[in-house]
A and B are shown apart, each in its own frame.
Chain A
Amino acid sequence: MSNVNQARISVEDLSGNFQEVHPGLTNQEAMEESNRCLYCYDAPCITACPTGIDIPTFIKKIASGNVLGSAKTIMTANPIGASCARVCPTEELCEGACVLNHSTKPIMIGNLQRYATDWAIQHEQILFQPGKKNGKTVAIIGGGPAGLACARELGRLGYEVTIFEAEEKAGGLNTYGIVSFRLPKEISYWEVKQVESLHVRIRTNTRVGKDISVEEILENHDIIILAIGMSSVPDIGVSGEDLNGVYDAIEFVKETKTKPISNQFLGKRVVVIGAGNTAIDGATCSVRLGAENVKILYRRTIEEMTAYEFEYEFAKQDGVEFRWLTAPKRIIGDGQGRVKGIECIKMELGEPGEDGRRRPVPIEGSEFTLEVDAVIKAIGQSRYVDLIEEFALEHNGGVVKINPNTFQTSNEKVFACGDVIFGKGQGEAMVVSAAQQGKETAYAIHKLFHSVSETA
């Protein structure tokens, strides 16, 4: 769907700015669009979906008026299919693979997926039944996309699953990390409820290693799954990061989803450091909080930017300014502990580094200062290294090592999936990929136990 018609930002009604930007398809739109689908055989959209949703089937079911069946088809393959309908980079996945790209225009698969799952949410459907209990106990650490997907499948297979969730609510990134105007937290809550309906116990406000010990977890469960994702944004490594007015983008977005919308950014000048999707979220949230000027500073160029194209377009339409080849040098305080400005330096691209991307090199003497009221850091996420080490798992800079076939870590009782295994050549950091890893981990566990019980 086009972003062109997105609602104007209001400085009077800041909360209104955080309402979901795109309305769902109307019944009529869904009917027309679903009838346009060719119902391909061996469809490339299915292959392009990391969770392998049978897309032609769910679209056909919308067209036939079997919307409940459509939602089941979606959610069977993707336990967080309602969230993914909103946050997946569909242009790069299913819609990018649609054969109609070669003749007319691709089917709006994401919007149709949202239509079907919205229907299930509005009609308070419970889509799945728990499996017959098999007596095996599983602890899943982390109730984000990977953990939920894994729990959902294990619940259906009859495992007794407990999710240990550090936050007040499960859902992880979908609940806390993706901006409300793209993914309202109620959508994530519904997906959590679907998992709970399979007799999965979710112990919220329970941080493993603090509220419950690692030993206790290891002792009391047959299987442990580490799905803890990633941690906070690391320091940039410049002076002034401890000043008032310097924010971690993830925490910043989380506040807009958990606390009443404040007016403390009204009329303020904000810079965001970084140009990934989280940076875009930080910037667009700032605009919606009433900031007068929002700039994204990135030390590389648009070519190296990791944000999705549609996110970049979205930010531009929100009036976010982009400053390429610009790196922060120090954050300047006002003498009373508050941010007052940021000194930057212009960069140029040098030789490619280890990751193949051209390395930015500072241009000497190009320093300049921007007067700002807030600095939002969005330069990636750090790892929960301490917890990983408490479990005594082998890891590579916080990326847990696994057997790619079984998702088993160096402790064969402990499995890992999601962002905790992302990086260093292991998978892609998409919500939908985390969900698929969660599913695959569940199947791998089931396969191991099956073969064990069969040989016993």
Chain B
Amino acid sequence: MADLSINLAGIESPNPFWLASAPPTNSGYQVQRAFEAGWGGAVWKTLGDPILNVTSRFAAVSFNGQKVAGFNNIELITDRPLEVNLKEIYETKKRFPNHTIIASLMVEPNQEQWHEIVKRVEDVGVDGLELNFGCPHGMAERGMGSASGQVPELVEKQTYWAKEAAKTPVIVKLTPNITDITVTAEAAVKGGADAISMINTINSLAGVDIDSWNTIPHVGGKGAHGGYCGPAVKPIALHMVGECARNPRINIPISGIGGISNWKNAVEFLLMGATGVQVCTAAMHHGFRIVEDMIEGLDHYLDEKGIASVMELVGKSAARYSDWGNLDLNYKVVAKINNDVCIHCNKCHIACEDTSHQCIDMLKDPSGTSILKVREEDCVGCNLCSIVCPVDGAIDMIEIPSGLPPMTWNEREAALGAASCESTK
């Protein structure tokens, strides 16, 4: 059994699986059920001045019959009085002292308000704070959430105010609704954040009802944008985690959030630089019990790889994430179709023929059996055929030695620049 415990900026947790600040962490009852199920920590649903919510609130995107490929919500922060939440946090922490409770916070960009709420939640014994600079809907219209999270100066200033009062570590939760997340991440670092978490939800409209012409969801015939999360956002989140992890100016730990549905997704986030992950949509889809497989799957993975502690995974792939200009132009792969495994759906052929580089031929072998064959000289190694192939092992992408030394675009440009300097001399 590997050591699954993590330490994120001084916050310890028995395992890297936390529930994100969201509907699953709305109450003590829920968080205690989650801890009983095995979740290592929970970020309490954002505390602040209680708000009014609307119905309905959620919508999801199905893809080819698969439910909840993406999830959208217009629910706001907690609608329960602060005192009630604080009492339940206290009781939960008392019952589960080894589990991690983080208080998510959102107040107006005002020093006094930050000081006050930080003090009140720390008094009930939370393990850390998460500043919600990410909620994209509702609260943003009141100058909070992503509205302040999109302004680097406000991120820095509010982090600073929270840190002035905080005794526990401060995590700054960032919004993805921004051109370059490393800018606001750096602002959090400058403000003194102990860690950052990402991503909050992405501005979204889940759909339009093609019969009623209402938005999905709608509130009495009117809709407003929500925040998008779930499996569909995972690649976006993973990219943003990677960008921050490989940025030398962002030298604080990252809590990874965004579409994590199983232990494999979690491993990806850890490898890309996250110290622990937060989960919401998968739990909303299936209940808290999914964590059992997440923990066991991760444990088996670590054992199989001979890794003693989950912390050893953190950031192992971050250095491999770079800019396009640093990719080797002389590296070449081509597709190879294994006709003994292939079931002859011909999807690779039509995908390549219509939308890629027309290099997969439908042929007959000498016995008259249909075969598919890649013309390697025309294959650009785009992967499309292996992506659309429904059968594991039917298409391999094979490395072809180019016989040339590695050469990136940046190196090529530099070399050409040097050469032209030479020639102008």
A44 on interface, CB distance cutoff 8 Å? yes
Interchain CA distance A63-B391 in the complex, whole Å:
21
B347 x A102 contact (CB < 8 A): no
B343 x A100 contact (CB < 8 A): yes
A103 x B349 contact (CB < 8 A): no
18 chain-A/chain-B pairs, Cβ below 8 angstroms: A31-B65, A35-B64, A35-B66, A38-B345, A40-B344, A40-B345, A40-B346, A41-B345, A41-B346, A41-B349, A42-B349, A42-B362, A43-B346, A63-B65, A99-B343, A99-B344, A100-B343, A103-B391
CB-CB contacts below 8 Å: A25-76 with B: 31-32, 35, 38-44, 63
Which of B65, B66, B345, B391: most chain A Cβ within 10 A? B345
Which residues of B are found within 8 Å of A43, using beta-carbon distances? 345-346
Shortest beta-carbon distance from B37 to chain A in Å: 29
Interface residues of B (CB under 8 A from A): 64-66, 343-347, 349-350, 362, 390-391
Shortest beta-carbon distance from A341 to chain B in Å: 55
B347 x A39 contact (CB < 8 A): yes
Q: Which of B65, B347, B390 contacts A41 (CB 8 A)?
A: B347
A103 x B343 contact (CB < 8 A): yes
Shortest beta-carbon distance from A446 to chain B in Å: 32
Shortest beta-carbon distance from A101 to chain B in Å: 8
Which of A38, A41, A99: most chain B Cβ within 10 A? A41
Shortest beta-carbon distance from B130 to chain A in Å: 39
B64 x A63 contact (CB < 8 A): yes
Chain A residue with minimal CB distance to B348? A41
Which residues of B are found within 8 Å of A40, using beta-carbon distances? 344-347
Which of B65, B350, B362: most chain A Cβ within 10 A? B65
Which residues of A are found within 8 Å of B64, using beta-carbon distances? 35, 63
Which residues of A are found within 8 Å of B65, using beta-carbon distances? 31-32, 35, 63
Interchain CA distance A172-B349 in the complex, whole Å:
43
Chain B residue with minimal CB distance to A33? B65
Shortest beta-carbon distance from A109 to chain B in Å: 15
Interchain CA distance A103-B391 in the complex, whole Å:
7
CB-CB contacts below 8 Å: A129-179 with B: none
A42 x B343 contact (CB < 8 A): no
Number of A-B pairs whose CB atoms are under 8 Å? Answer: 36
Chain A residue with minimal CB distance to B350? A41
Chain A residue with minimal CB distance to B63? A35
Interchain CA distance A41-B362 in the complex, whole Å:
11
Interchain CA distance A265-B349 in the complex, whole Å:
59
Which residues of B are found within 8 Å of A63, using beta-carbon distances? 64-65
Shortest beta-carbon distance from A66 to chain B in Å: 12
Which residues of A are found within 8 Å of B390, using beta-carbon distances? 38, 103
A97-135 toward B: CB 8 Å interface, digit per residue (1/0)? 001101100000000000000000000000000000000
Which residues of A are found within 8 Å of B349, using beta-carbon distances? 41-42
Known A-B contacts A32-B65, A63-B64, A63-B65; A42 and B391 likewise in contact (beta carbons under 8 Å): no
A38 x B362 contact (CB < 8 A): no
Interchain CA distance A100-B345 in the complex, whole Å:
9
Chain B residue with minimal CB distance to A64? B64
A-B CB proximity, top 8 nearest: A41-B350, A35-B65, A41-B346, A40-B345, A102-B343, A99-B343, A35-B64, A38-B345
A44 x B344 contact (CB < 8 A): yes
- Known: A41-B347, A42-B350; 16 extra A-B contacts, CB below 8 A, are A31-B65, A32-B65, A35-B65, A38-B345, A38-B347, A38-B390, A39-B347, A40-B347, A41-B346, A43-B345, A44-B344, A63-B64, A99-B345, A102-B343, A103-B343, A103-B391
Chain A residue with minimal CB distance to B344? A99
Shortest beta-carbon distance from A396 to chain B in Å: 33
Interchain CA distance A181-B242 in the complex, whole Å:
62
Which residues of B are found within 8 Å of A99, using beta-carbon distances? 343-345
Chain B residue with minimal CB distance to A39? B347
Shortest beta-carbon distance from B68 to chain A in Å: 15
Interchain CA distance A364-B83 in the complex, whole Å:
100
Which residues of B are found within 8 Å of A32, using beta-carbon distances? 65
Shortest beta-carbon distance from B395 to chain A in Å: 14
Shortest beta-carbon distance from A61 to chain B in Å: 14
Interchain CA distance A39-B348 in the complex, whole Å:
12
Interchain CA distance A124-B64 in the complex, whole Å:
28
Which of A39, A99, A100: most chain B Cβ within 10 A? A99
Shortest beta-carbon distance from B52 to chain A in Å: 37
Interchain CA distance A42-B344 in the complex, whole Å:
9
Interchain CA distance A143-B344 in the complex, whole Å:
40
Which residues of B are found within 8 Å of A38, using beta-carbon distances? 345, 347, 390
Which residues of B are found within 8 Å of A44, using beta-carbon distances? 344
Chain B residue with minimal CB distance to A31? B65
Which residues of B are found within 8 Å of A100, using beta-carbon distances? 343
Shortest beta-carbon distance from A124 to chain B in Å: 21
A291-329 toward B: CB 8 Å interface, digit per residue (1/0)? 000000000000000000000000000000000000000
Which residues of B are found within 8 Å of A103, using beta-carbon distances? 343, 390-391
Shortest beta-carbon distance from A104 to chain B in Å: 9
Chain B residue with minimal CB distance to A35? B65
Which of B64, B343, B390: most chain A Cβ within 10 A? B343
Interchain CA distance A100-B346 in the complex, whole Å:
12
Interchain CA distance A98-B307 in the complex, whole Å:
44
Interchain CA distance A40-B351 in the complex, whole Å:
11
Shortest beta-carbon distance from A421 to chain B in Å: 30
Shortest beta-carbon distance from A372 to chain B in Å: 50
Which residues of A are found within 8 Å of B345, using beta-carbon distances? 38, 40-41, 43, 99
Chain B residue with minimal CB distance to A99? B343
Shortest beta-carbon distance from B364 to chain A in Å: 13
Which residues of B are found within 8 Å of A41, using beta-carbon distances? 345-347, 349-350
A73-105 toward B: CB 8 Å interface, digit per residue (1/0)? 000000000000000000000000001101100
Interchain CA distance A309-B166 in the complex, whole Å:
76
Interchain CA distance A39-B343 in the complex, whole Å:
13
CB-CB contacts below 8 Å: A191-228 with B: none
Interchain CA distance A63-B65 in the complex, whole Å:
8
Shortest beta-carbon distance from A175 to chain B in Å: 36
Shortest beta-carbon distance from A253 to chain B in Å: 39
A7-34 toward B: CB 8 Å interface, digit per residue (1/0)? 0000000000000000000000001100
CB-CB contacts below 8 Å: A400-453 with B: none
Interchain CA distance A40-B349 in the complex, whole Å:
10
